[in-house]
Structure 1
Amino acid sequence: MEARRVKQILSSSADIEVKYHGASVWIDELNEDEKLATVHLRGPLEERSQVSIADLEET
Structure 2
Amino acid sequence: MNANRAKEIYDSSTNYVVQLDGEHSVWIESVDVANGMATVQVGTNPADTQTVSVERLKEEHH
In the superposition, the TM-score normalised over structure 2's length comes to 0.85
* Mapped partners of 2:3, 2:35: distance in 1: 10
* Mapped partners of 1:55, 1:6: distance in 2: 11
Shift of residue 42, structure 1, vs aligned partner: 2.7
Matches for 1:1-59 after TM superposition, within 5 Å? 1-21=1-21, 22-43=23-44, 45-46=45-46, 47-59=48-60
Gaps of 5+ in 1: none
Gaps of 5+ in 2: none
User: RMSD of the TM alignment (CA)?
Assistant: 0.9
- For 1:6, give the aligned amino acid: A
- For 1:24, give the aligned amino acid: S
* Mapped partners of 2:42, 2:59: distance in 1: 14
Shift of residue 2, structure 1, vs aligned partner: 0.9
* Mapped partners of 1:11, 1:32: distance in 2: 13
Is 2:41–2:49's contact at 8 Å kept on the other side of the alignment?
yes
Q: Equivalent pairs: percent with the same residue?
A: 33
Structure 1 residue ranges (4+ consecutive) displaced by more than 3 angstroms after TM superposition? none
* Mapped partners of 2:25, 2:59: distance in 1: 10
